[in-house]
Amino acid sequence: MPDRSKAPHIKDAIEYAIELKKPEIFSLDNGVKVYNVNAGTEEVVQIEWIFKAGNWFEKSNNIASATNFLIKNGTTKKSAYEINEYVDFYGAYLNRSCYNETAVVTLHCLSRQLESLLPLVQELFVEAIFPEEELHIFRQNMKQKLEVNLKKCDFVAGRKIDEFLFGAKHPYGVYSEMSDYDALDVAALRQYYATYYQQGHCTIFSAGILPANYATLMNENFGNLPFNQLPIETPEHLIAPAEQKKWNIINDPEGVQGAVRIARPFPTRHHPDFPKVQVLNTLFGGFFGSRLMNNIREDKGYTYGIYSFLVNHIHGGAWMISTEAGRDVCGATVQEVYNEMQALREGDIDPEEILLVKNYLIGTLLGDLDGPFHIIARWKNLVLNGLDDSFFYHSVDTIKNITADELKAMANKYLNPEEFYELVVV
């Protein structure tokens, strides 16, 4: 019979050497770079076409996201239905997503179907037409979706906290109003498409089991497009944070829960404190074993879950705490968050707790680097942020070596309640 009172011997995860497999990189004839992680156990592939076409570049609200969404809703040769039917017939997924700096088109398919699908993707970048009727449906559906979302406290809280941090005119703080959808017109979408897609700046990330002729296939389909030829002007946007720090918003007088957001501005990945704060954040509220979760969920039962995280934009970020808590305990929840900040500023962190966090971080990193899609996601992040794998290895070293004193210093530098915005939406 095993002795159950004693934990089995473990290898500390921090003893693992962690390696971020390098991608292969090749360039198409037009200079577009293609990053590839050719690996995996299943005959599947994922390709992302990343354009400098996020809302950073738009002149009025929602142009970037509408252009991105409707890029597959009709070309000179195919209707939206024909495009969707074609993609579905080959068992593929063609998704698009719009972020602040970038807008992305993503293809997932079985490796053997790639050759049939790439010409269609090319067609989207050359011949999308943005039919009036498709915009009409998009506008109608998005407005209704927004109306539903506005009933949700967490949705409202998410919008408002970004506004407080960055300002309502900044790409990171702006949000959609009904009138923004009404104002969309196809001419503006076509113009945006011409500048930021047809003649835009593109980088490609691919992963999975790639066919042997992959480079040739990609060059045939995308190497002769006028990407990366004309300069793209990157506009300046000034961050304009709110003056008032504490906010209470009533969204649903009969709601049984409130959405709590507590956040402060925080620098980008390029700041020397970033890797250290990543570790501190984990300990504070970044995983299930964090202090916030242990106190506010596991001890008090105020919430189903509470997390803190770093909001990572390319030009500036934030440190945020987020939860939904019972309506009558929202105030108590906010107070407990501040109590935990104080404990980290003033108290000593137990070495066992630090080791737990380090091992957890390294262990999940090992798991996260499992498989080609995860590896390419890391690289995409590095490349888009103007970083390379030295950032990754520096982060790993920081996790392995950070001390209690360094963590405490970070807490004293950043976890000061007066620097946080506090928002409760009930």
| Least CB distance to another protein at residue 189 (A) | 18
| Least CB distance to another protein at residue 420 (A) | 23
Among 256, 272, 390, 418, binds another protein (CB under 8 A): 256
Q: Which residue, 2 or 235, has its beta carbon nearer to another protein?
A: 2
DSSP bridge pairs for 247? 423
Among 211, 241, 267, 289, binds another protein (CB under 8 A): 289
| Least CB distance to another protein at residue 45 (A) | 10
Beta strands in 15-167 (DSSP E): 24-27, 33-38, 44-51, 93-98, 103-110
Backbone angles phi, psi at 266, to 5 degrees: -150, 145
User: From CA 97, how far away is CA 108, in angstroms rounded?
Assistant: 14
What is the β-pairing status of strands 44-51 and 103-110? antiparallel
Which of positions 26-65 make contact with another protein (CB under 8 A)? 40-44
Non-local CB neighbours of 132 within 8 Å, separated by 6+ positions: 186
Which of positions 65-94 make contact with another protein (CB under 8 A)? 80-81, 84-85, 87-93
Q: Which residue, 300 or 345, has its beta carbon nearer to another protein?
A: 300
| Of 177, 56, 80, nearest in space to 131 by CA | 80
Candidate ranges 141-149, 170-178, 312-320, 376-384; the one touching another protein (CB under 8 A): 141-149
Backbone angles phi, psi at 311, to 5 degrees: -90, 115
Candidate ranges 134-142, 268-276, 375-383, 394-402; the one touching another protein (CB under 8 A): 134-142
User: From CA 302, how far away is CA 143, in angstroms rounded?
Assistant: 34
Which of positions 302-321 make contact with another protein (CB under 8 A)? 302-304
Among 234, 288, 335, 351, binds another protein (CB under 8 A): 288
Per-residue contact flags (x/-) with another protein for residues 343 to 362, judged by CB under 8 A: ------------xxx-xx-x
Q: What is the DSSP letter of 229?
A: -
| Of 31, 63, 56, 47, nearest in space to 194 by CA | 63
Q: Which residue, 59 or 112, has its beta carbon nearer to another protein?
A: 112
Q: Does 325 bind another protein (CB under 8 A)?
A: yes
